[in-house]
Structure 1
C-alpha cells in the first residue's frame, strides 16, 4: 500500500490521494486487521470529469436540411436550433467519429445552430456554432424582346446570364438600388430561353429565374369610331396602348385588360377631324403596326320616319346609324340599324295604338346623336271612296286627300291606281275604254297604310 489509515470507531475511513486520481484512474483497497490478516482487494475507479473535444468540421448542408461534423466516437451530439441552450435534436457519434443531424425545418439564409458534444460520463464540450449558407434571393427578370435583358436583384450581386443549354450570354452587377441591365452583342432570337442567377460576394448562388425571349410584335390594335370624348378598342391583353395625333403629339396611354379591351378618356374631347394613331407595345417591348381613326364629332342628319299605322315603322337615316325609337313619353319602342342605303324598318312585337307618338333619333358609329324626328301613328282607315258613274273611258271620284285609290274589276283584276289630290279628287283613264257592264271596285289607302272599305260602279 502507498497510503494507510486506521478505520475509525464508526467503521468509516477516508484516505487522501496525492496526486488526485482523475478520468477513470483506479486504486486498489485492502483491509488488514490487527492480527495481520488481509481482505480481498477492492478496485475503485476515479470519475471522468474531462470535457470532450468540441465538434470539428461542423457544416450546415447547402439546402439547410442537416448539420454534419466530427466528434468523439460514442459521444452524443446535441443541436440547439432555437437558441434556448437546450438540444432540440441529438444523435450518437458513430465509430468513425462522423455525425449527421437532420434539421426540420431546414435552416436558411444565415440562420445558426449550436452543436455540443456530451461524452458518456456527462461531460459537455465547448459549444460550436454553424451558420446556414445565405443564398441571395432569385433575381427578377423583365420580359424581353432580346435586345436588352433587365430586372432587379439584391444590391451588389453579380448577375450571371445563360441560355437554356447553359451557354453563357453575359454577366453584370446589380446597382445600389438592385437594378441591373445587360445588352447582348446581338439581339437574342425569339424563343431563346434566358436563365438568370444572382451570385453574392461569398460565392453563394440564388435559384435561377427564367424567361423566354418574345421577339414577335403584337398585332395592330383595333380602334373604334369615336366622337372624341372617349377612345376605345382592343389590343393584345396586357399590352400598353399609346395614342398620338396625326402629328405625333401624345394624346395618352392606357393598358389593355385581360380580355384585350382598352379605353381612354381625354381630359378634353378631341376636335372633329383629329387623326388618332394607336400602337400596342407588349411587355417584352415589341411594338405593333399603328392603327388609325379620325374623330367624327358631327351629328348625323335627322332621320326620316314614314307615316305608319303602327304595324311597321320605317324611314331613312345615315347609313350604318343606329335608329332608336321611343314613344312620346320616352319609353323605348325598339332599335334598328340603317342599311348601306340608309333605309331602316322596325316591326313592333304588337302594333302600336292609333295616336302613339313615335320619336326617332339616329346615332352614328362615333356616338354622335341626331335631333329627333317624330310621327304619330294613324291606325284609322280612310272613308270609303266615291266612284262616279262612268262609260268606261274615264273613272273618277273622291277620296281622302293624298290617299292611293286602287281600281280592280269584279274578278279582282287590276285596272289601275291613282292618288287623290289635295281636295280629294281623283281621276283615272284606262289605256282602252272599259267594256259596258264592267264592275269597277275602288279602295283608298292612306299614307299610313290603312285601307278603306270598297265602293263599286258598273260601266254603262
Structure 2
C-alpha cells in the first residue's frame, strides 16, 4: 500500500503564471512525492525447520496499520537528490537523500509502544519543500501462551474418545484444541519443535487442530504458540505428548476353558450350561496397558477379560444365557493404542435340552480280574479289585448321546459304547461303592439325558 503526496508542483505553476517577469523563461517544476511503506526487516518472524529466524520481507501496509517492528524502515519517492527528513512532532528522527531514481528509505531509531504519526519533508536543490504524513502503531507485545486442552481426541480403532497426554494411540491424525484465545490470533502447532500447521482462534476464543500430514509411529511432543495480527508470537505451551503406535501386539490369547464344561471330558467345550465363565490364556506377558478380550458371537462384540492369575484371564457371562447351538468363541490381545493382535477361535457346543424318554440304561455286572476270585459278578457282591470293569446295556440312544456313570452326583466317567452294550473301567474304587449308570445330559442333577459329543 502506498500513500502518495504531490506538493510543490502545483504551487510552482501558479507562481510562474502570476509573474510576468518570468515569462519566456524555461518552465520549472519541483515535484515531490512521499510514499511510505513499512518493511519487515526485523519484525516478520518465521520458523524454518524448528529454529526461529529473522527474514526480510518488504511490505507496503497502509497508513494507520500496526507492526511488531520497533525500528521500522520508512521508504518512499521524492525528487532525485532531494533531502528527506522524517520527524514525529518536533522531534527529528533522521534524514536521507533520495537516489537517482527518486527512491529513499530510512530506518527509524527504536520506537516506543503505541500510536505514532510520522512526517516526511523533502527539500530539493531549489529549496522547494513537500511533505506527507504516515500513521503507524508499534505493538511489540506478544499474546499470552495458548490454553491447551489436556487431552487429545482419538477417533480411530477400538480405543476412541479423549485421551490424556502421554497415551498411546493408533490415530495418526488426532484432534487437538484449546480455549481462552483472542479472536484474530493464529495458533501455530509444533511437533518436537518443527512447525506442522496452524489454525485460527474463533469468536468465542476456541480453536481446534487436526494434522494434515499423518503423524509417524513415534512419540510426538506437540506444543502451541499464539501469533497476533502484527506477527508477535507467544512463548510455546507445555507439550501434549501423543504416542503413535501402529504395531499389533505379539502376545496371543486362546480360549482355554469354559465353566461348567459338562461334556464327556472337562476340556471338550461341550456343555449343558448356558451361563458360562470363559477362561483365556496368553502365551507371553502382556505389555503395559494391553487387554485380553473375548467374543461370544464370532467377533461381533468384544468383552474385556479380567486377570485371574499368571497368564490366565476370565470373562463372566453368567448374567446372560446363551442359546443352544454351536458357538464360535474368539480371543485376542489389544494393546494400549487399540491395535488388535492375532485372533484365535474355539467352537463351543451348548445343549441344555432333555433326552428322549424312550431310553433305558442299566449296569448288568462288573468284571473282577484280581486273584483269588476272578470273573463277572452282579450288583451287591464284594471284590478285592479296586479297578473293576463295569458293564451294562443301553437302549434308545440317538446320535451324540453318551453313557455316563455317577456315584451320587460325582461323575466317575463316560462309558465306551459297543452297540447296545457299554463298559467303564473304574479307577481306584474304594470300598462299598454304588455306581449308577445314566444316559448323560450335560446338566448335573437331571439324569437320563442325552448329550452331544464334541466334534
- Range class of TM-score, shorter chain: 0.3 to 0.5
Normalised TM-score (structure 1) = 0.36
Higher relative contact order (CA 8 A, sep 6+): 2
* Structure with higher strand content: 2
Normalised TM-score (structure 2) = 0.37
